[in-house]
Amino acid sequence: MKVIKNQEFSGERPLFESHGLRLENVSILEGESAIKECSDIEAEDCFFEGRYPFWHVHGFRINNCHFAVGARSALWYSDHLKMTNTVIDGPKMFREMSDIELENVRINDADEIFWRCKNINIKNLEIHDGTYPFMFCKNIKIDGLKSDSKYVFQYVKNVEIHHAKIDTKDAFWEVENVTIYDSELNGEYLGWHSKNLRLVNCHITGEQVLCYAHDLIIENCTFGEDCDRMFEYSTLKADIKGKVTNIKNPTSGLIVADEIGSITIDENIKAPADCVIQVR
């Protein structure tokens, strides 16, 4: 493997079509597509400022690097990435990619990150600001996530999340086969139009959560006082600890809670309208 140390590159495509290359303490400055159409690349202690540095790259490792604001859209159309101990300040990272492994990564502008990616394995990720992270992704496993971005996890499939704290709005819409364990979900309109969404040992806050959900499962979860008009037009099986403020027009299934503030069943309920609601 060729090694390049302590150098700076700028301009367009300075390392185009490199294969078997290790970069150590290298700076990619103003320019475009520095490491395009490459394979078997390692980057250690590097700084990226130019646009689109990693496009069409197959097999690469990035450790202890920094992507500045100018390095927008840095990783697209690539596969088999392992990224560790890295800070990203540029938006629109990770697009149309597969086989991604991240550990101890912080993304400070999460606008439109992880779009149409698959086979993602993440441990200890922070994402801040921005909208629509993880749009149209599938086959995701996450252990350790902190997020204050808006509209996270829209239209995703086959997702498992552990130990997350998510402050958001309109999250997990139109998802399919998603399970979330031991997490805190704060935001309005969570989980609308979902299919096979399962929440285990979670705490949920926000108005009108979990409506229009199909085959929703809730196990040993708690809800904040602001959770009103819950479960409207949803089919579900729910085991809830503590009190829920208001349940409105669930379509079918079983809801069991320690305490229920109020239940709204009106002429707008949808058939079969046979959900059983019980106080434990």
Is 124 domain-assigned? no
pTM for the whole structure: 0.95
- The rounded distance, in Å, linking the Cα atoms of 31 and 18 is 17
Residue 37 Ramachandran class (φ > 0 left, ψ -120 to 50 alpha, else beta): left
How far separated are the first and last CA of the chain, in Å rounded? 65
SS3 annotation, 119-154: EEEEEEEEECCCECCCCCCEEEEEEEEEECCECCCC
CA Rg value for the chain: 22
Mention every residue, 6+ apart, whose C-beta is less than 8 A from residue 241: 220, 221, 222, 257, 258
Is 91 domain-assigned? no
Is 8 domain-assigned? no
Is 88 domain-assigned? no
- The rounded distance, in Å, linking the Cα atoms of 65 and 106 is 11
Domain that holds residue 218: 169-280
Is 247 domain-assigned? yes
Report, as an integer, the average pLDDT of 250-257.
98
Taking CA atoms, 230 is separated from 31, 61, 233, in Å, by 51, 44, 9
**Overall number of domains in the chain:** 1
Tokens of 205: 């806050």
Is 235 domain-assigned? yes
Q: Are 52 and 28 within 8 A, CB to CB?
A: no
User: How does pLDDT run across 191-219, given as a tens digit for each residue?
Assistant: 999 999 999 999 999 999 999 999 999 99
User: How does pLDDT run across 53-103, given as a tens digit for each residue?
Assistant: 999 999 999 999 999 999 999 999 999 999 999 999 999 999 999 999 999
Q: Count of residues for the chain?
A: 280
Using DSSP's 3-state secondary structure scheme, residue 71 falls into coil
Is 256 domain-assigned? yes
User: How does pLDDT run across 150-190, given as a tens digit for each residue?
Assistant: 999 999 999 999 999 999 989 999 999 999 999 999 998 99
Give the pLDDT score at 169.
87
pLDDT > 90 in the chain, percent: 98
User: How does pLDDT run across 235-247, given as a tens digit for each residue?
Assistant: 999 999 999 999 9
